[in-house]
Amino acid sequence: MRRNIALKLTISAISFFILIPIYSSIDAQRAETLIDGSVRHGGFGGPMIAVGDVAGNPGLWVGGRGGWIINIDDDHAVSLGGGGYGLVTNHQVPVTIDGNDDLYALNGYGGFVFEYTNRSYKLTHFTISTLIGGGGLMLRERNYDEVNDEVNTYFVFEPGVNLEMNITHFFRISAGVQYRLTNGISEYGFSDSDFSGLNGVLAFKFGGF
């Protein structure tokens, strides 16, 4: 008797665990989801340059970025990745440091980048991007002979909008504007206002879109 009861309980338990995936599959077919299994993926990377005001003078930033592309459907795609810039123009420190009045800003930043792309199959289309991260400001001599390793770290938030053109199936160029907002720069006579502001940006993207 006990053996029969145990056998029935075992069969019932096995049946229960077999039916769960079946019912789950049925429910999954009926459920509406934001992203389904037909999503196409891609990736890209490439150099970027940005031009804008730095401490009252024209400044040039050079960097790069890359990302993982998620094509939600034909009209909408997002990319998740990272990027960063380094300041390559000379910007003299406005104060004397340890008796030296010929020092220059050595600045760079980077972080996580989120980008939305609208109708990327069109020859020209627009993107909206946001960088969230941090940077470091140091001092250097004009010819980089000496670099001060004391770093003034800061937070960066940089949204932007771009017009992008498909050159080939694996190469795109985008141009736009970004607003760099820094928080935390307070050393060497500089402030956040010296490195915050609008920038014109040119980006080159290579990859599978």
pLDDT band at 19 (very low <50, low <70, confident <90, very high): very low
Residue of 106, 109, 93, 201 whose CA lies nearest to 155: 109
The answer on pLDDT for 1 being more than 60 is no
Same domain, 89 and 145: yes
Question: Can you give the residue range of the structural domain that contains 10?
Answer: 1-31
Same domain, 142 and 54: yes
Same domain, 151 and 173: yes
The β-bridge relationship of strands 197-208 and 171-183 is antiparallel
The two tokens of residue 66 are 């890359």
Same domain, 87 and 166: yes
Same domain, 107 and 10: no
pLDDT band at 149 (very low <50, low <70, confident <90, very high): confident
**Average pLDDT over all residues of the chain:** 87
SS3 119: coil
Same domain, 179 and 154: yes
Same domain, 149 and 190: yes
Identify the weakest region by mean pLDDT among 22-36, 53-67, 111-125.
22-36
Provide the domain count of the chain.
2
Identify the weakest region by mean pLDDT among 27-36, 62-71, 86-95, 110-119.
27-36
Judge contact between 165 and 123, C-beta under 8 A.
yes
| CB burial readout 175-205, b (16+ within 10 A) else e | ebebebebeebebbebeeebbbeebebebbb
Length of the chain: 209
* Rounded Cα distance, 120 and 165, in Å: 9
